[in-house]
A and B are shown apart, each in its own frame.
Chain A
Amino acid sequence: MGPFVGAVLSASLILLFVLPLVVLFLYVGWSGFVQEATNDGFLTSIRFTLLASGIAVGLGLLTGVPLGYLLARYRFRGRSFVESAVLLPVVIPHLVVGIALLLLFAPDGPVGRFMAGLGLPVFDAIWGVVLVMLYVGASYVVLASQLAFRAVDPEVVDTARSLGASPGEAFATVTLPQSARGIATGALLMWARGVSEIGGFLILAYAIAPSPPWFGPPTAPASVYIYDLYQSSGGLEAAAAASCVLVLVALAIFLAVRLVDRAGLYTPRGGWLS
């Protein structure tokens, strides 16, 4: 394959990525965009989605980073099973995820009742959205942190120990700063995957009854909200406008992360400056 053919094939893929979004924005136009961007119902849905995805990413980091560290640094019995389990959510269709989670967390089932008893109802509640986002996205945090931790030279960590650092101090001052960029990338991918999810929400958390009440008025995840708009009569224009708003929110978060990166919080070698 010559360089010209390679360039044409690459350009066609990039065009496929970008062109639909350009058409989307051209179709909606400025007035359509403003109308949806100031729609209280949709803004509530966006706020709700950001809140749920924030909680999900937090839980993903809390559970996925230790698992990534375990897989990067230790050999243990059942390791290949754990690695396969981490990849499971990536290959399972997400409607299936929704159905499986619904069966496990059914409101009248033991697990669902237990969760509700804890004040964490799952069905048609924010915790259902968080659960789906965690299921479909936490693998990215595990895989990214596993790669990031594996890239940290164990001799550097040992040297920190010999210089007086306890295992915890060596992790916090040497391992984590060097892995932070990889972990942050995993978190960003998890967040993006969670926000773009719809299949699991349609089954487990279609219409959100706020619980506790300070979560706000009844709403739906943004992707479900857009889907509902599209299903309503003549709803393509409104769905397209809402999609533009969601795309811009996603781009804003993506750019914010890149700006933090460029602002010098990372070193040239990719770790957080400590």
Chain B
Amino acid sequence: MTGVTVRNLELERGEFRLGPIDLAMEGGTATILLGPSGAGKTTLLRAIAGFLGVREGSIEVDGVPVDREPPERRGFGFVPPSLGLFPHRRVARNVSYPLEIAGASDASAQARRWMERFDLVPLAHRYPHELSSGQQQRVAMARALAAHPRFLLWDEPLSALDVESRDVLLRLVRELIEREGLPLLLVTHDPTTAFSLGSRLVVLDEGRIRFQGRPEELARGPLNRFTARFLGYENLYAPHELAAASDLPLGAALARAAGPGGLVIPAEALRWSAERWGGDASARVRSVRWSSAAWSIDLELGSLRLHVVGAHDAPSVRPGAVVGVGIDLSKVKPLESSSGPAG
């Protein structure tokens, strides 16, 4: 089992400052790096991979510093968002590339074994542009693993996949990192990927770590706008939205319950009734939508928009109707400022 430790890592890119970053990644586990656009996720991955110089700090593999090593000597399997497939090489020669570079005499045979694992043998003679997104992802992963890396750094490699292909690949990746005892640091925006793969979640914002812990700790702990959205909350309100609604029946109470980053009203805190007077306040129905298994209603409570979802008994209201709304204030969650203290 390989362990990778990032200690006190800092770097500057123009106006952007990353760090200090401290991370510990154990072999056989996946660490998921989350954060809004511009948070520094890709910068951090590229710094660890050796493509960006760092101002401070160290990167260690099993206690041995590697931050002075060029990317090719670190043994880190880096997969960028574009996957980095070689357009001029067929699939077989993409997968065998690291083995050829290493001078392996059985490069083709080894590459074939990796292609078998990722079900790529029938595609061996195709060029990358002749493959679907899912097939390209598999080639990128097979090639990264064929290099016998000590650590995997993947930047949104599953972003373009349909649900079924993603789930198949997630299962495969989980099996592989466990079997090979490899640590994986993966950037994703997809909660399903994060929760099904991640032993540990790291939330990065404005270049600093805001949360680091197990997935369930993220859900239990203090939320900010990004983590609340990531966890699937929909009714999020910024302080200025709550201030503008303070003269509404529930507005003042909501404003009081809010944190510096605003407030989220979880589904379990929200109840509604088709009767106008069936709640603490009245709201107007903006839209009603049905899908095969669920329904959702968008309500207008003064200047606030509320989104209500349910799974049974399709509601018998139409857009324009006035309904009753109740909010259990003990269940609303205050939001921390996005640039609040590190968690």
Chain A residues in the interface with B (C-beta under 8 A): 153, 155-156, 158-166, 169, 173-174, 177-178, 267-269, 271-274
Asked, given contacts A164-B102, A164-B147, whether A274 binds B88 with beta carbons under 8 Å apart, the answer is yes
Could you list 16 examples of A-B contacts with CB < 8 Å?
A155-B84, A158-B46, A158-B51, A158-B80, A159-B78, A162-B72, A163-B143, A163-B144, A164-B72, A164-B98, A164-B147, A165-B101, A268-B129, A269-B88, A269-B127, A274-B93
A268 to B71, CA, bound (A): 30
Contact of A162 among B78, B81, B127 (CB under 8 A): B78
Contacts of A166 in B (CB 8 A): 70, 72
- Cβ of B237 within 8 Å of any chain A Cβ, yes or no, is no
Return B144 CB to nearest CB of chain A, in Å.
7
Return B302 CB to nearest CB of chain A, in Å.
48
Q: How many residues of B contact A (CB 8 A)?
A: 33
Are A267 and B127 within 8 A (Cβ)? yes
Contacts of A165 in B (CB 8 A): 72, 101
Are B79 and A272 within 8 A (Cβ)? no
Contacts of B97 in A (CB 8 A): 160, 163, 173
Closest residue of B by beta carbon distance from A170: B72
Are B82 and A155 within 8 A (Cβ)? yes
Return B10 CB to nearest CB of chain A, in Å.
21
Total CB contacts across the A-B interface at under 8 A = 84
With A156-B87, A159-B84 given, name 14 new contacts (CB 8 A).
Answer: A155-B80, A158-B49, A158-B78, A160-B86, A160-B101, A161-B71, A162-B72, A162-B76, A162-B153, A164-B102, A267-B87, A269-B129, A273-B88, A274-B93
Contacts of A156 in B (CB 8 A): 82, 84-87
A174 to B74, CA, bound (A): 20
Return A8 CB to nearest CB of chain B, in Å.
37
Closest residue of A by beta carbon distance from B93: A274
A158 to B86, CA, bound (A): 11
A21 to B97, CA, bound (A): 49
- Cβ of B117 within 8 Å of any chain A Cβ, yes or no, is no
Residues in B85-103 with C-beta less than 8 Å from chain A: 85-89, 93, 97-98, 101-102
Residue from A161, A165, A174, A268 with most neighbouring chain B CB atoms (10 Å): A161
A159 to B129, CA, bound (A): 17
Are A177 and B71 within 8 A (Cβ)? no
- Cβ of B183 within 8 Å of any chain A Cβ, yes or no, is no
- Cβ of B207 within 8 Å of any chain A Cβ, yes or no, is no
- Cβ of B28 within 8 Å of any chain A Cβ, yes or no, is no
- Cβ of B77 within 8 Å of any chain A Cβ, yes or no, is yes
Which 3 pairs across A and B sit closest by C-beta, in order of nearness?
A159-B84, A271-B88, A162-B78
Asked, given contacts A268-B127, A269-B129, whether A158 binds B84 with beta carbons under 8 Å apart, the answer is yes
Asked, given contacts A159-B79, A162-B49, A163-B147, whether A174 binds B98 with beta carbons under 8 Å apart, the answer is no
Contacts of A269 in B (CB 8 A): 87-88, 127, 129
Return A121 CB to nearest CB of chain B, in Å.
43
A71 to B128, CA, bound (A): 28
Are B85 and A274 within 8 A (Cβ)? no
Contacts of B82 in A (CB 8 A): 153, 155-156
